[in-house]
Every structure is written in C-alpha cells, then in structure tokens.
Amino acid sequence: MAEPAKPQPGTIRTVSSREVYRNPWLSLREDVVERPDGTRGIYSVVDRPDYAVVIAAERDGFHLVDQYRYPIGARRWEFPQGCFPQGRTGTAEELGRAELSEETGLSARSWTALGTLSAWHGASGQEATVFLATDLRTGVPRREHEEQDMRHRWFPRAEFERMVREGAIRDDSTLAAYLLLLLHERAA
C-alpha cells in the first residue's frame, strides 16, 4: 500500500488516524486533521497498493482488455493494469510484466517506464507506473478469478483514438498513460 505522504510546512497535519474498514483489496481510514489556520476536520483516505499500467504496442496499435466494471455497471476497454495480490510484492516492472501476461497472455522483451500517475489523489495515495511494452510474444492468459469475463483485443491506433473521442474508452489511467506515450514519442 502507498505510504501516507509526509506533511509539508503550512499544510494539513494529521492529529489522529483510525482504520474504519479493510478487505483484501483496500482499507479505509478516517483521519482527524488540523488545517493551517488551526481548525480541525475529518479526512477519509482509501489505501490501496500501487499499480502498473501497460501499453502493449505493436504494428501502430495497442492491446486492450475489456471487462465489466461493477461500480459503473458497464464494460470498458482499457490498457492492461492492476496491482499485486495481497501478500505479493515486487518492482513496478515485475508488476507490469505479471499484469500483461495474466490479462493478455503477452510477454514483452522491451520495457520502457513512461512515468507515474497519482490515481485518485483527492482520496488516496495510490500511484500507477506506466510502461510501454514492445517486441511482444504471444502466450496464454492466466487471469485472476475476478477477471473471468475479461476479453483481450488488438486495436489500430486510429481506432483507439476514435474510441477515445467517442467515449468508448473512458478509463482515466488509460487516457493519462496514452498522453505519457505521446509525450515520449514526441521527445524521441
């Protein structure tokens, strides 16, 4: 799980903290805070493990996964992404490799870290490391039980961008990762 950020001078200070809820994927804590003017309040924070987002690219296109997202009651296309299961740890690249293989069956010989995203910085310290994976090899997906309805498909870049414009791709991590890719390509 992401460690709470260290307070900076003149910012909100944590007075006390208590865990309100925990399950295998997240915990919720309620902090009593003190603002710079001395007034107190409550801040709720969702603690989740950091995750990886993988842009698996080849032939001027991308491999995406689609799954039903229960909170919004809809299926969504997105770049492969996820966090280590409870009790497992490793580097961000190891996580990216595991997620790509589990969700798509693909492996990559080339990995480039594109940047780090704050996932939900208004309510969580969770961060995502974005990778570009190239020189891909095909394999068999080994999805987690919760991903049993997941689908995987390659899309040409033009179709991916059309899907973004039309709202078929709405995942914030996917959209922010694509921006990091565009900046990386522009700098190359």
The per-residue pLDDT for 162 is: 98
Sheet containing strand 27-34, edge to edge, reads 13-22, 27-34, 40-47
Rounded CA-CA distance 3/124 in Å is: 10
- The CA distances from residue 52 to 9, 42, 98, in Å, are 31, 30, 10
Residue 159 confidence (pLDDT): 98
Q: What is residue 185's predicted lDDT score, i.e. its pLDDT? A: 98
Looking at residue 6, what is its pLDDT?
Answer: 64
Torsion angle of C-alpha atoms 77, 83, 84, 86, degrees rounded to 10: -110
What's the pLDDT score for residue 47?
94
* Element housing 95 (H / E): helix 92-104
Per-residue pLDDT of the chain (188 residues; tens, 9 = 90+): 556 566 566 689 999 999 999 999 899 999 999 999 999 999 999 999 999 999 999 999 999 999 999 999 999 999 999 999 888 899 999 999 999 999 999 999 999 999 999 988 889 999 999 999 999 999 999 988 888 899 999 999 999 999 999 999 999 999 999 999 999 999 98
